[in-house]
Amino acid sequence: MVSPAIALAFLPFIVTLLIRYRHYLMLLYRAVLVPWLRDRLTGTSREQRAFQYLLTHAIPGDPHHILQTFDHWCYHCEHLSCVGPDKGRIVERVLSEQAPLRVLELGTYCGYGTVLLAQGLPPGARLYTIEGDPQHAAVAEKVIRLAGFSEQTVELIVGPSEEVIPRLREKHGLMNANLVFMDHWKRCYLRDLQLLESHQLLAEGATILADNVLFPGAPHFLQYAKTCGKYHCKVHRARLEYFRGIPDGIAELRYTGTH
């Protein structure tokens, strides 16, 4: 049994750890423990609860208000792993500067990033978004249509990215993408980037934006992007969505097409 003296000796160390990692503990509480409990108490998923909140509070056909309502839910109700407003401004700036006509999103999730991308598209542009989880895709489909985007503007493709990417040209008519937004499983970033390369789905000069490259992180993806000679790479420092105390970042890659 630990003596009181030894326990007291460790108390300052424990307090220091709690203070230093308080933001991560809060993330664990809000993003894992609370949703897990509410899922079981309500019989619905957090994604479905978020959509019901949108139906009640958001203005249909107004993408900006849809995103604002999403943000309010994530700040004040339950955490969702969306790109969020701070990093969203980085995405909006790139869209505004480049006006891409063919955009590919990997990781639709609830449709937040899809709405963010779609509202910044120039006339005649098309967005292809891939989601591997059918339940998330069902929510995202309703969110995208609630925001006012038709299937001619936004095509939602359900299936694992490693299976969908090789079929994008033949089955979905995407010859190549001018902009790619990655916000799915971080361990898949490098694999899917190399799939896009091998299937020649990146237009010369294409931009790849990859979220959460610092937290939870995608080190192998970043190392490849910086050393393979095919990209100009920079990381925009930011904060984790809806947690200003946790550093994060978005990687911006410019494809040169060189080997």
Mean pLDDT across the chain: 92
Residue 170 designated active-site = no
* Residue of 131, 192, 241, 248 marked catalytic: 241
Beta 202-210 vs 177-182: how paired, if at all? parallel
- Which of the given ranges, 32-36, 38-42, 161-165, has the highest pLDDT on average? 161-165
Q: Which CATH superfamily is domain 85-255 in?
A: Vaccinia Virus protein VP39 (3.40.50.150)
Residue ranges of domains in the chain: 9-77, 85-255
Give residues with Cβ within 8 angstroms of 206, minimum separation 6.
176, 177, 178, 179, 180, 254, 255
- Output the pLDDT for position 157: 98
- In the residue annotation, 86 being an active-site residue is answered as no
Let me know if 71 is a catalytic residue.
Answer: no
Q: Are the CB atoms for 86 and 247 separated by under 8 Å?
A: no
Measured over the CA atoms of residue 22, residue 25, residue 31 and residue 35, the dihedral's sign is: negative
pLDDT tens, position by position, 167-224: 999 999 999 999 999 999 999 999 999 999 999 999 999 999 999 999 999 999 999 9
Does the active-site annotation cover 141?
no
214 in helix, strand or coil?
helix
Phi and psi (nearest 5°) for 247?
-65, 145
pLDDT given at position 16: 59
Residues 132-164 have pLDDT tens digits of: 999 999 999 999 999 999 999 999 999 999 999
pLDDT at residue 27 is higher than 70: yes
